[in-house]
C-alpha cells in the first residue's frame, strides 16, 4: 500500500468550505475512503468503504497524521 502514496493537495486556509462540497469534489476520485467528522448533533462520526479493514483505517489515519504534522500539506510560498 505504501508504494501508492503520493503527495496530495490538502485544502487549508480556505474560508468556509461546506462538507457537502468537499464530498462532492471527492466523488469518483477514490477507490477507498475514510470519512471523519462531526455530525450535525456535534458527535464524532467515522465511516469507511467496505474494502478497508480496521488495520487499513489505522494505517491511513496514521499516515495522514504523520504527513500533516510533518508539514506536507502546508501551502508553498
Task: Write down the pTM of the prediction.
Answer: 0.69
Task: Average pLDDT across each block of 10 residues of the chain; the chain has 77 residues. List them in order.
Answer: 53 70 91 92 94 96 93 75
Residue ranges per structural domain of the chain: 2-69
What single string gives the DSSP state of each residue in 1-68? Answer: -GGG--------S-S---HHHHHHHHTTS-SS-EEEEE-TTS-EEEEE-TT--HHHHHHHHHHHHHHH
- 3-state SS class at 71: coil
- CB count within 10 Å of CB 68 equals 13
pLDDT for the residue 52: 97
pLDDT of 18: 86
pLDDT at 72: 86
Amino acid at each position: 500500500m505504501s508504494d501508492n502514496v503520493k503527495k496530495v493537495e490538502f485544502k487549508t486556509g480556505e474560508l468556509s468550505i461546506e462538507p457537502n462540497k468537499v464530498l462532492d469534489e471527492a466523488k469518483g476520485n477514490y477507490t477507498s475512503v475514510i470519512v471523519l467528522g462531526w455530525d450535525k448533533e456535534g458527535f464524532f462520526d467515522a465511516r469507511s468503504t467496505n474494502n478497508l479493514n480496521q488495520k487499513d483505517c489505522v494505517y491511513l489515519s496514521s499516515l495522514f497524521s504523520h504527513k500533516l504534522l510533518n508539514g506536507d500539506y502546508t501551502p508553498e510560498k
